[in-house]
Structure 1
């Protein structure tokens, strides 16, 4: 009998953890919720609800791969558990995998034929897949595709006399221009599309000539420093705050923005034009890495595409997609610090030379990055890895005995996570990482995801 009592007490304890996890989830403490659901699962791994709930918490942290694994486990335990299909379908959608999502919503409809919500989501999903098939059918094969950049001559675009915004005189982007442009953006004024074209095209030219892995020298002198920022996600007013706290980018005050500049936040265009303009002003004042949101499939879903279409034009949607393919994949600071958006690779034994030889000029594959920190550092004679990509309550997290730092620079992410933002200042000569955290600042009343795919809003 004691064994049965033991099982009972384990089940009761697991339920307690689930209740605590649900409370944490309601309070938007998703990482804590995941830990508590994990404890429940460790005590009772045959409960599909725990797995599906943890899947939902993973989705909230944008850990879609983990969400799909957990939801699949829930389905394996109980093939008739509707929430398992719902959670997995939502995670597939979030990754832009519409066809996989469709299968899950079809199954959901079979299990809950009279549920109006399931019917609505299935209809939307069918629409998205039809649209995707249509786009695939009419798209020009990659090999035959002409670069849109080659067909644009910004010099032929007239600027109307009544335009009172920032202007670029000739070919040179000056600090005065960038300051005036940022000030206009702050007051919700737009930049003339002639100058927007000029900035994006000049940035493209610069990025095209860079290797996939960029080495950055940091002078040894005292007082020299280098700042690394994580995801900004279209939070323009928080970007201005970073510059307020840490100074504007310049050769003496260089920055690296480690991917995910756009999407979700509804001022993504302002963010990307500001970062690109600084790059044009002084290539060594700012370095830019590609994140998973610098891709067509993500921009289609999470708002950047809709925002660019609304604020500029369809041609710019194509142009940004092209330029994002030119962004380098990673950076090495002073030969010692490896900075990459997502983290390390799922395969072992990767050398920096492997990364250098990647042909990056394409849309990113869906599989990739993570783990094996110590060995990677030893193999490549490095001291530290810096990554971004994940929301952290304090804006950063230090793991693997101090060898891995995650930095995230979008505070109160999506106006609801309540997290701090952070950036890292590396101080010469020893490149000691100094982490600065900051809180969100107010922004005009335009909600995150304002330009996003309607379909996704149904799930948020």
Structure 2
């Protein structure tokens, strides 16, 4: 780690490269800045550089981290929305744009973009009648979630198809509170004596992904009651029961 001054100097160097449209150089400078000091501003700037390089998934991850560090970062949230739009995740992008307008109701750029994607958001999405294959990327998981979030049973089966060893790579930067809520609801519906321990292990391993602490923090009383109910539906050793209770603050 370097000093704050070093981090800021490298970020400004990145800005110079960006203005000159040397986007690869800008990314390198922002990365060095982040190695010195992790800041929402440098993450947001690197996200914009990735957007200009048509690397929307990387832009999404950086913008998401920037928002986690500074929920009121308008630039970070707008770049997050732009990455989602590029990935055709319009509903999630629309939510981002609405959050920006809650902070800055007169933001004309955001108003214009919200209007531009309104029709895409309002289009009726055809609900899947089969469970999608296990995702290989965070983007694929996000895309599948937009179609499965109103189908808790299918989402739960889909989630169980993901190898626990892949949770960190696929879910680490994208897991959100609403996803956990839908998952718990779905697990209640598909739980059997045969898959009980798989479901418990899935919940334990989910607790190890980087964003879990933030996502689980906002689970409501109903979610936690549902989790307690899950624990009572099978034979469970005390160690795992205690671990689940600690991870989910039950």
TM-score scaled by length of structure 2: 0.49
Q: Which has the higher helix share?
A: 2
Larger relative CO (CA 8 A, sep 6+): 1 or 2?
Answer: 1
